[in-house]
Amino acid sequence: MKIPKIIHQINTLGIQSSTKNELQAMSALKCNNIDWEYRFYDEQQIFLFLFGNDKQRYMDAYYSINPVYGAARADYFRYLIIREFGGAYFDVKSYTTISLNKIIQPDDELVIFKWQGHPELSYEGYGLHSEIKKGTEHQQWNILSTPNNKYINNVVERVTQHIENYTPEKYGVGMYGVLRTTGPIAYTNAINELNCDDGIRFAGNNAVNHVIYAKRHYRTSKHYSQLYEPIILR
């Protein structure tokens, strides 16, 4: 298998802030992948990675993200760790129902799932953005990739540029600001702009492939879709 057997998950607020549903999803992910190394990152682990790897540009970019936008910080950091180590990234509210060993093929370098194609038509309206220049959203709540992958390299570069050049007028605030600056719109366009599908397996709908996104989860803190502050602080 070309993709390293490492699972990455992030919660910038720490594991203690995870909801019951998130903890259950994390447990299921680990139980179904017992032969995979598991790595969890909070703000302390993120700092150690950025500082220890002498990545000043990326450290500056990461810490310029307004901390109230934990989703944007998690977006950016997932790209950095997948580029560095490869493996499988999953949001803390997602999991697999079978082993990744059965989902990932031996020659896979980057596996991309989409919302459309669920047998029960769930999520059919997800991932449809006019700002995506080709097709629909590539899911980035799950990323299965080799290290130093050319597509992920381009995602890191483009998202870093978005952060460095951010203005509320250009990228917006709240949910769509995050989607444009660091999230799936930015991710999808960065992959598509290479105009080459070599090394990508478009695997169809995530649920058909036993990769599950838990729609319902609750936190006591305000969701980023309700925020009106700038995403990047200068």
Give residue limits of the domains in the chain: 6-215
Instruction: Please write the tens of the pLDDT for every residue from 135-152.
Output: 999 999 999 999 999 999
Q: What angle do CA 53, 57, 60 make, to 5 degrees?
A: 100
The structure tokens 């447990």 sit at 27
Least-confidence region, from 56-60, 98-102, 126-130, 159-163: 126-130
**6-215 CATH fold:** Spore Coat Polysaccharide Biosynthesis Protein SpsA; Chain A (3.90.550)
At residue 121 the predicted structure's pLDDT band, cuts being 50, 70 and 90, is confident
Instruction: Please write the tens of the pLDDT for every residue from 176-191.
Output: 999 999 999 999 999 9
The model's pTM: 0.95
What is the reported pLDDT for 164? 98
At residue 225 the predicted structure's pLDDT band, cuts being 50, 70 and 90, is low
- The yes-or-no verdict on residue 198 having pLDDT over 60 is yes
* H helix runs in 53-167, sequence order: 56-64, 70-85, 100-103, 150-164
At residue 123 the predicted structure's pLDDT band, cuts being 50, 70 and 90, is confident
What is the reported pLDDT for 218? 47
Instruction: Please write the tens of the pLDDT for every residue from 71-80.
Output: 999 999 999 9
Query: Mean pLDDT, to the nearest integer, of 150-156?
Result: 99
* Residue 7 backbone zone (phi > 0: left; psi -120 to 50: alpha; other: beta): beta
